[in-house]
Structure 1
Amino acid sequence: MGSEKPLILVTNDDGVTAPGIRHLIKIMKEFGEVVVVAPDSPQSGMGHAITITDNLYCDKIKVDGDSYEEYSCSGTPVDCVKIATQEILKRKPDLCVSGINHGSNSSINVIYSGTMSAAVEAGTEGIPAIGFSLLDYAMDADFEPTTEFVKKITNYVLQNDLPQGTVLNVNFPKLKAKNIKGIKICRQAKAHWEEKYDKRQTPQGRDYYWLTGEFVNEDAGKDTDEWALSKGYVSVVPVQFDLTAYQTMKSIKDLGYER
């Protein structure tokens, strides 16, 4: 980076005016030049979806009246990263941060998360990236206890970079700052959702459904994100976006042949 200030792309999936991203912007301004490109409305659970059949809009806005650039995008979190790097930013950012999400993105939740998909998209473009999430779904959640840890993790990534092909998934327990014990480097816990649909009817008699479910942690390991969060630690999981199951390649090798 030399003497040039780091260029930091900030995005999320809760929408550009969500309290979590406003807190993250405030912190990132201490580290470098901030450009915000975030969805114009909540996009939770969108995963790695992209917009290909509708018009995509990206409007310059001012939320806090500050001097940094800020854009509201009609698309998904991944759209935000794509349009930022292709159309808005004058150079490749030194860091992309996504969040701070209202709610957990630990364990299996990482595959559904728009927050983490934005970070992963940045990673595929060779940009060091971090997804931040707080285990509190409330819109009036207290993000102040995350500040010290966001700064520490951000500074580490800016100073040391990340291995090619990985991004960081960071989750914060819902605790006061004085009660957070520290940071644990973890693996993703094996867990799943036991899901069901709540079936209802409109006044016109048409069926509709609400997805509900219960999170089930199947993993008793003491090296997982779920364990760390339950014990009052910030969990940091390095996530790789190469989905190849290398061990399985060996076990199914007899399937391959040449004609």
Structure 2
Amino acid sequence: MATAKKSKQKPTILITNDDGITAPGIRNLVEAVKDLGTIVVVAPDKPQSGMGHAITIGQPLRLTANHSYEGIEAYQCSGTPVDCVKLAVDKVLHRKPDLCLSGINHGANHSINVIYSGTMSAAVEASIESIPSIGFSLMDFSIEADFSAAKVYARKIVEQLLSKKVDKHCVLNVNIPAVPEKLIKGIKVCRQAYAKYEEDFVERKDPGGKKYYWLTGEFVNFDKGKDTDVWALKNNYVSVVPVQFDLTNYQLKNKLENFWP
């Protein structure tokens, strides 16, 4: 007698961000992929932009159920985006999810921004934990940003990653131009551009007459290559940059080995 085929179990997808659990970006990401797996949200209870790979030490972390996502298990965390991933694996899921998504960030995380980004650090932390991950960012800082195109491309990329057997340390940095979907030319796999902010600290005085400083800066692209994330986004492509947590400079390593034979 033939046996019934075992139904394929839905993947577990962890979703986090750095703009906070109430940010429109994470809500749109949940909406884009909610039928692709069992979704669990663990995100900061307040904005944590620019936190990079910071973790909380020396003070307790709070993890509280959040009921603003109908039909989806969700928690808000008092810590950083990286804390959220660590707590999700250890105290919420009690196992590693099949995929971790971070975002959709309000603002670009291309080029050097990946170093400072809480969005991308959450994705990288998942990769360290052997969980394939993707960080999504939309090049619009506005709280009223239009995420409709970002949702379409986030879903496409997630569907593709779920359909393939990928390395457990795979982590993708995805940036989406802030233009209508009809103007997006497609997806381009890129390298990270050498571009950064030329920073300045504006000196001001508070009402008490004490000095304080406000960080400002201008984004400057030093990389004219047409295979970079900055070029792709400027030309209305969705940029996909594979990144890694191994920061070893292998070319320099080979040279240095000859310094001290």
Q: TM-score range by the shorter chain?
A: over 0.9
- Please tell me the residue identity of whatever aligns with 1:33: T
- Please tell me the residue identity of whatever aligns with 2:16: T
- In structure 2, C-alpha distance between the alignment counterparts of 1:75 and 1:214, rounded to whole Å: 30
Aligned pair count reads: 256
- In structure 2, C-alpha distance between the alignment counterparts of 1:200 and 1:84, rounded to whole Å: 41
Question: Which residue in 2 is equivalent to 1:138?
Answer: 142
Q: 1:234 aligns with which of 238, 243, 260?
A: 238
TM-score when normalising by structure 1 = 0.96
- In structure 1, C-alpha distance between the alignment counterparts of 2:165 and 2:115, rounded to whole Å: 23
- In structure 2, C-alpha distance between the alignment counterparts of 1:164 and 1:93, rounded to whole Å: 11
- Structure 2 unmatched runs, 5+: 1-6
- In structure 2, C-alpha distance between the alignment counterparts of 1:61 and 1:49, rounded to whole Å: 23
Matched, 1:204 2:237: no
Superposition pairs of residues 99-118 of structure 1, within 5 angstroms: 99-118=103-122
Q: Deviations over 1:195-246 (max 9, x none)?
A: 0101111122221111111111011111000000011100000001111111
Q: Deviations over 1:70-117 (max 9, x none)?
A: 001000000000000011104310000000000000001000000000
What's the secondary structure of 2:112's corresponding residue? helix
- In structure 2, C-alpha distance between the alignment counterparts of 1:239 and 1:78, rounded to whole Å: 16
Superposition pairs of residues 46-65 of structure 1, within 5 angstroms: 46-64=51-69
- In structure 2, C-alpha distance between the alignment counterparts of 1:103 and 1:226, rounded to whole Å: 13
55-64 vs 40-49, which moves further: 55-64
Q: 1:178 aligns with which of 178, 182, 188?
A: 182
Distance 1:239 1:198, change over 3 A: same
Q: CA deviation at 1:147?
A: 2.1
Q: CA deviation at 1:27?
A: 1.5
- In structure 1, C-alpha distance between the alignment counterparts of 2:97 and 2:53, rounded to whole Å: 20
Identity of aligned residues (%): 58
Whether the 8 Å contact between 1:47 and 1:117 is mirrored in structure 2 is yes
Whether the 8 Å contact between 1:8 and 1:34 is mirrored in structure 2 is yes
Matched, 1:128 2:132: yes
Question: Which residue in 2 is equivalent to 1:68?
Answer: 72
Question: Which residue in 2 is equivalent to 1:31?
Answer: 36
Q: Deviations over 1:9-48 (max 9, x none)?
A: 0000000000000000112211011100000000000000
Whether the 8 Å contact between 2:123 and 2:134 is mirrored in structure 1 is yes
- In structure 2, C-alpha distance between the alignment counterparts of 1:166 and 1:95, rounded to whole Å: 10
Q: CA deviation at 1:255?
A: 4.0
Q: 2:82 aligns with which of 72, 78, 84?
A: 78
- In structure 1, C-alpha distance between the alignment counterparts of 2:165 and 2:117, rounded to whole Å: 23
What's the secondary structure of 1:238's corresponding residue? strand
Q: CA RMSD in A?
A: 1.4
- In structure 2, C-alpha distance between the alignment counterparts of 1:95 and 1:41, rounded to whole Å: 23
Whether the 8 Å contact between 1:15 and 1:39 is mirrored in structure 2 is yes
- In structure 1, C-alpha distance between the alignment counterparts of 2:166 and 2:153, rounded to whole Å: 17
After the TM superposition, which parts of structure 1 deviate over 2 Å for at least 4 consecutive aligned residues? Answer: 161-166, 254-257
Whether the 8 Å contact between 1:37 and 1:84 is mirrored in structure 2 is yes
- In structure 2, C-alpha distance between the alignment counterparts of 1:98 and 1:161, rounded to whole Å: 20
Superposition pairs of residues 238-257 of structure 1, within 5 angstroms: 238-256=242-260
Whether the 8 Å contact between 1:7 and 1:94 is mirrored in structure 2 is yes
Whether the 8 Å contact between 2:32 and 2:152 is mirrored in structure 1 is no
- Please tell me the residue identity of whatever aligns with 1:232: N
